[in-house]
A and B are shown apart, each in its own frame.
Chain A
Amino acid sequence: MVFLVLTVIVLFVIAVVRVMTIAELSAELRNGRTDDVMTDEENKNQGLMWVVFMIAFFGFCIWQMVKYSDKLLPRAASEHGPEIDTLFNFSMLLITIVVVITHIVLVYQAYKNAGAKTRKATYFAHSNKLELIWTVIPAIVLTAMIVYGLTVWNRVIYPSDKPAIVMELYAKQFDWTARYAGNDNTLGRSDFRSIKEGNDLGLLEDSKADDDVIVKGEFHLIKGKPVRFKFRSRDVIHSAYMPHFRAQMNCVPGMETVFEFTPTVTTAEMRAELKNDAFNYVLLCNKVCGQAHYNMQMDIVVETQKEFDTWMAGQENWMQKQATAAPATGPVADATILSPVAKTDQSKEKH
């Protein structure tokens, strides 16, 4: 079958070459070949094509904006999020204006100045005035963008000194573990050399760890309460991406990274707004980490203080967990895929 298809393709190519040869030969006989000269008519048509194309292109862009506008992320669900979205809208407006105007000018010039035998170009080689204009104006606009952008950045990225709930997000191939710091709001110390069965996070013998609460599958946040995330990774670089909150931070083995935000919209509220009862905030991995990078996730629930307390009351803390755990038997089995043609992806279920 493949052989047949290949034969057909080869014969087709040979046929096209033969037809072309005839076409070229007859063109040569008629009026000489002219692949190096654009006729007036060809130039005019191409000039027109530019206009047609630009109209189609703008139409295509507008169509996309209309069709896809409700498929993007919902409104920001964090305190700093709306600031980022406003900065984004402002910047997009600016660049859209630039793209539209420059393209109109570009295409208009292409159309208007389409070449002709009787046409003569104007020898206009430089103008310091023009260069100054389009150096200074972009410089001013960009300075404004820089100042605005950095103002937002400084507000968003530095951990504040507001009291915040401290929690850890621990990344490994291919799942997440969340650890709350408990009543002392201090995470127990950990070391990768202490990882063993029953101690996935490598927590050390540390009184601060006793009240830490470890959860998998989903973690909960309190509306209106700032949370300071500390990120760690067991094996390779991952990235904690929580797009609904406009939050992202790499998880790097060998160092701890930090990001802080305050959720402002509960899961229930967002479900009502989106008219989607199945909606959930989600944590994704956003730095390629291996085979199941595309399915490394954890649900995030934002709720009231009362709901959170109820949920937390049902969780075991570290001290309790250790009391009920079987004695450690050895190192922790890993989800790493060793064979290249693995049975299909093991991480299909959420952990």
Chain B
Amino acid sequence: MSAMDTNPNAHGEHSEAVNTAIVHPHHDEHEHHDEHEHHHVETFWNKYVFSQDHKMISKQFLITAIFMGVTAMLMSLIFRLQLAWPGQSFPVLEVILGKWAPNGVLNSNFYLSLVTIHGTIMVFFVLTGGLSGTFSNLLIPLQVGARDMASGFLNMLSFWFFFVSTCIMFSSIFIETGPASGGWTVYPPLSALPTAMPGSGLGMTMWLVSMAIFIVSSLLGSLNYIVTIINLRTKGMSMTRLPLTIWAFLVTAILGVLSFPVLFAAALLLIFDRSFGTSFYLSDIYMDGRALEHNGGSPILYEHLFWFLGHPEVYIVLLPALGITSEVIATNARKPIFGYRAMIASILGIAFLSFIVWGHHMFITGMNPFLGSVFVFTTLLIAIPSAVKAFNYITTLWKGNLQFTPGMLFAIGLVSFFITGGVTGLILGDSALDINLHDTYFVVAHFHLVMGSAAIFGMFSGVYHWFPRMYGRVMNKKMGIAHFWLTFAGAYGVFFPMHFLGLAGVPRRYYSNTEFPMFNDLVDINILVTWFAILAGVAQVIFLFNFFYSIFRGQKSSQNPWRSNTLEWTASVKHIHGNWPGAIPEVHRWPYDYSKPGHEEDFVPQNVPLTEKELAEGEH
């Protein structure tokens, strides 16, 4: 690690050497010329609602994502009831769903609505908006040593677009013809023709509008993250002294900027086909007793456009979780993350490769088999950087001094899910094997292990770990530990058996398996899965209670409760605009000097100057 100097921070400040205590007030007259500081009167509206402070915005993203996540999880419990006990009457369903569950039995169209909205909410609103939106916003300025994001105004807009998008998606659940129901992938012609299914009416229009606004929010956020990381790092914070969280958030943002516009295009063309008579995706269709006018288009075009985003999207979901895991494991192992540079290279490798694998979602669309071969090759390649990361996490534990905080437990849990879920990706990425497994529960098992388990665990890890930085208090650790083990067991209990359903040929998005005798023996598996889902769902109540209770009555946090090296722990515990009451700390070393020989403490924060010995050795 060379002692590369970067641009001094925006004010050309030179900070004093500090350790973990709060920066002493500095008499530097420049410190309040921060263009992001507002000497206006703080009102309720600009503090809590239209805040331009990244810390408040991160909390807004988190609370919104929690609300949406609970909604999507409840939806999954409802359709799991139907799958385990098909056709059985559950009076409570009629209470909640009204006409969509006549006599307590879920309506088959609304079943498809539930799985569609469940998937849409979880992938976009919880794991993209909630994961990137929360942690990129909270950590980027604090960890790079900036007063706030490059543009507080755009940042505020990125949350409010997200919120509007949330409102539209949520309210689409309640309209008369029902929300979008063609699966979260909403392939045309099913999603293009309102008479193909009720959910392809107004519900689909609302889905498209909501997603278009969501994409705007995501792009605004990503631009801010990239600009802030590149331009507003504090003095001494070279790129190779950035914590891995920042590397992950940076690369994720770049992925988003390059791929979300393509989904926007796909959605726009779909809006045109639906409402303005175009035929981008439609041709040769006979429906409602007549041949439709649309001619010349192809649904495969939509699939290419969708998956060109869709694949990078899953890495947009996963990379921040991996970055968080690096940080939480290193801090709690009291050891540097193993292979810092290899970790950066893996992030870059995964990001690059993620753009050239999208066809593995399309092996059996009838596309040219040679093209399929190319995608097999690139897809299996992406396993290499992923393997490097997994091995590096494990090596970080070796000879560590492991502190099993709830955050650490979830981070290690992520490693387990990442491995188990990742390897089945190799099976699915092998096109010959995909023939019999495509669109079966084997796929559902795979992506729920990597996204619905690994990425969510990254989010939980981050919430427990940075809760003190968000709310100035610590979450209850006993409840956190209970939440972890119950959720870990629950998640494996739900998703592991699904592999067997897929191998038995059970397709996705089936309202019921009762119409095929070949599936009669599998009823027990569905029941087992549903019971585990109920267990996992109930376990989240512990988290929700812990989270909200601790905001008000949690143990007050010390300055640096986890004894961590990164800059966010040097900022003011009480949230202030500008993060540090005095000058911004200057950085002298990388963030992973844990248990470093030659130091009394088992951690050396980034803003601690090099010792004479370290200077002589040319250290990080």
Q: Do A and B bind each other?
A: yes
Contact A340 B595 (CB under 8 A): no
CA–CA, A139 and B432, complex, Å: 20
Indicate whether A35 sits within 8 Å of B474 (C-beta atoms), given known contacts A288-B190, A290-B190.
Answer: yes
Contact A43 B545 (CB under 8 A): no
CA–CA, A105 and B431, complex, Å: 31
Judged by a CB distance under 8 angstroms, whether A317 is at the interface is: no
Q: Which of B50-58, B205-213, B263-271, B402-410 contacts A (4 or more CB under 8 A)?
A: B402-410
A95 CB contact (under 8 Å) in B99, B189, B423, B509 = B423
Contact with B along A171-207 (1 / 0, CB 8 A): 0010000000000000000001101000000100000
A149 CB contact (under 8 Å) in B187, B369, B430, B511 = B430
Contact A340 B397 (CB under 8 A): no
Quick one: closest A residue to B502, CB to CB? A72
Distance (whole angstroms) from the CB of B409 to the closest CB of chain A: 7
Quick one: closest A residue to B105, CB to CB? A344
CA–CA, A123 and B395, complex, Å: 11
Distance (whole angstroms) from the CB of B134 to the closest CB of chain A: 21
Indicate whether A123 sits within 8 Å of B595 (C-beta atoms), given known contacts A146-B376, A340-B109.
Answer: yes
**Which residues on the B side are within 8 Å of A280 (C-beta)?**
517
CA–CA, A136 and B334, complex, Å: 29
B409 CB contact (under 8 Å) in A16, A46, A124 = A46
Contact A297 B516 (CB under 8 A): yes
Judged by a CB distance under 8 angstroms, whether B515 is at the interface is: yes
Distance (whole angstroms) from the CB of B59 to the closest CB of chain A: 20
**Which residues on the A side are within 8 Å of B505 (C-beta)?**
73, 241, 243, 284
Contact with B along A216-237 (1 / 0, CB 8 A): 0000000000000001001111
**Which residues on the B side are within 8 Å of A340 (C-beta)?**
107, 109, 176-178, 198
Judged by a CB distance under 8 angstroms, whether A341 is at the interface is: yes
Indicate whether A92 sits within 8 Å of B285 (C-beta atoms), given known contacts A110-B412, A252-B366.
Answer: no
CA–CA, A340 and B521, complex, Å: 32
Contact A64 B496 (CB under 8 A): yes
CA–CA, A71 and B283, complex, Å: 41
Judged by a CB distance under 8 angstroms, whether A315 is at the interface is: no
Contact B474 A43 (CB under 8 A): no
Contact A68 B525 (CB under 8 A): yes
Contact A109 B397 (CB under 8 A): yes
Interface residues in A131-149 by Cβ distance below 8 A to B read 131, 134-135, 138-139, 142, 145-146, 149
Q: Which of B142-150, B245-253, B319-327, B433-441 contacts A (4 or more CB under 8 A)?
A: B433-441
Judged by a CB distance under 8 angstroms, whether B475 is at the interface is: yes
Judged by a CB distance under 8 angstroms, whether A334 is at the interface is: yes
Distance (whole angstroms) from the CB of A242 to the closest CB of chain B: 9
CA–CA, A173 and B285, complex, Å: 12
Contact B107 A341 (CB under 8 A): yes
Count residues on chain A whose CB falls below 8 Å from chain B CBs.
Answer: 129
Judged by a CB distance under 8 angstroms, whether A254 is at the interface is: yes
Indicate whether A288 sits within 8 Å of B401 (C-beta atoms), given known contacts A126-B341, A149-B430, A150-B373.
Answer: no
Contact B365 A250 (CB under 8 A): yes
Count residues on chain B whose CB falls below 8 Å from chain A CBs.
Answer: 137
Indicate whether A124 sits within 8 Å of B196 (C-beta atoms), given known contacts A95-B424, A110-B397.
Answer: no
CA–CA, A58 and B366, complex, Å: 39
Judged by a CB distance under 8 angstroms, whether A29 is at the interface is: no
Contact with A along B184-203 (1 / 0, CB 8 A): 00011110010111100000
Interface residues in B523-569 by Cβ distance below 8 A to A read 525, 545, 549, 553-555, 557-558, 561-562
Contact B290 A237 (CB under 8 A): no
Distance (whole angstroms) from the CB of A175 to the closest CB of chain B: 13
CA–CA, A291 and B579, complex, Å: 54
Contact with A along B27-57 (1 / 0, CB 8 A): 0000000000000000000000000000000
Judged by a CB distance under 8 angstroms, whether B216 is at the interface is: no
Interface residues in B482-504 by Cβ distance below 8 A to A read 485, 488-489, 492-493, 496-497, 500, 503-504
Contact B398 A109 (CB under 8 A): yes
Quick one: closest A residue to B98, CB to CB? A341
Contact A123 B366 (CB under 8 A): no
**Which residues on the A side are within 8 Å of B193 (C-beta)?**
235-236
Judged by a CB distance under 8 angstroms, whether A286 is at the interface is: yes
**Which residues on the B side are within 8 Å of A235 (C-beta)?**
189, 193, 196, 285-287
Judged by a CB distance under 8 angstroms, whether A328 is at the interface is: no
Contact with B along A114-136 (1 / 0, CB 8 A): 11100111111111001100110
Interface centre among B178, B416, B468 (most CB of A within 10 A): B416
Judged by a CB distance under 8 angstroms, whether A301 is at the interface is: no
**Which residues on the B side are within 8 Å of A202 (C-beta)?**
286
**Which residues on the B side are within 8 Å of A253 (C-beta)?**
189, 282-285, 299
Contact B364 A2 (CB under 8 A): no
**Which residues on the B side are within 8 Å of A249 (C-beta)?**
364, 366
The number of A-B residue pairs with CB atoms under 8 Å apart is: 386
Interface residues in B325-366 by Cβ distance below 8 A to A read 333-336, 338-342, 364-366
Contact B289 A333 (CB under 8 A): yes
Judged by a CB distance under 8 angstroms, whether A215 is at the interface is: no
Judged by a CB distance under 8 angstroms, whether A332 is at the interface is: yes
Interface residues in B418-434 by Cβ distance below 8 A to A read 419-420, 423-424, 426-427, 430-433
Contact A290 B197 (CB under 8 A): yes
Quick one: closest A residue to B183, CB to CB? A288
A294 CB contact (under 8 Å) in B333, B503, B512, B594 = B512
Contact A146 B377 (CB under 8 A): yes
Distance (whole angstroms) from the CB of A250 to the closest CB of chain B: 5
Contact with B along A280-298 (1 / 0, CB 8 A): 1010111111111111010
Contact with B along A147-158 (1 / 0, CB 8 A): 001101110111
Indicate whether A35 sits within 8 Å of B287 (C-beta atoms), given known contacts A43-B404, A98-B423, A121-B401.
Answer: no
Distance (whole angstroms) from the CB of B390 to the closest CB of chain A: 7
Judged by a CB distance under 8 angstroms, whether A15 is at the interface is: no
Judged by a CB distance under 8 angstroms, whether A49 is at the interface is: yes
**Which residues on the B side are within 8 Å of A47 (C-beta)?**
402, 404
Indicate whether A38 sits within 8 Å of B403 (C-beta atoms), given known contacts A113-B397, A121-B334, A121-B335.
Answer: yes
Quick one: closest B residue to A91, CB to CB? B427
**Which residues on the A side are within 8 Å of B197 (C-beta)?**
290-291, 337
Judged by a CB distance under 8 angstroms, whether A311 is at the interface is: no
Interface residues in B285-329 by Cβ distance below 8 A to A read 285-291, 297-300
Interface centre among A126, A127, A336 (most CB of B within 10 A): A126
**Which residues on the B side are within 8 Å of A256 (C-beta)?**
366
Indicate whether A115 sits within 8 Å of B553 (C-beta atoms), given known contacts A46-B409, A150-B373, A255-B300.
Answer: no
Q: Which of A17-25, A160-168, A302-310, A319-327 contacts B (4 or more CB under 8 A)?
A: A17-25
Distance (whole angstroms) from the CB of A55 to the closest CB of chain B: 13
CA–CA, A2 and B282, complex, Å: 48
Contact B284 A254 (CB under 8 A): yes
**Which residues on the B side are within 8 Å of A61 (C-beta)?**
496
A36-B562, A257-B365 given; name 19 further pairs at CB < 8 Å.
A36-B557, A38-B405, A42-B404, A72-B500, A95-B423, A110-B397, A114-B402, A125-B340, A150-B432, A153-B372, A153-B373, A235-B193, A284-B507, A285-B507, A294-B507, A336-B195, A337-B109, A338-B195, A342-B109
The 4 closest A-B pairs by CB, nearest first: A257-B366, A254-B283, A46-B404, A243-B505
Q: List 14 A-B contacts (CB under 8 A).
A: A20-B549, A68-B504, A106-B397, A121-B399, A125-B339, A135-B387, A153-B376, A236-B187, A252-B300, A286-B439, A330-B289, A334-B287, A337-B109, A339-B198
Q: Interface of B with A (CB < 8 Å)?
A: 95, 99-100, 102, 107-109, 112, 176-178, 182-183, 187-190, 193, 195-198, 282-291, 297-300, 333-336, 338-342, 364-366, 369, 372-373, 376-377, 380-381, 383-384, 387-388, 390-391, 394-395, 397-405, 409, 412, 415-416, 419-420, 423-424, 426-427, 430-433, 435-436, 438-440, 468, 474-477, 481, 485, 488-489, 492-493, 496-497, 500, 503-505, 507-513, 515-518, 521-522, 525, 545, 549, 553-555, 557-558, 561-562, 592, 594-597, 602
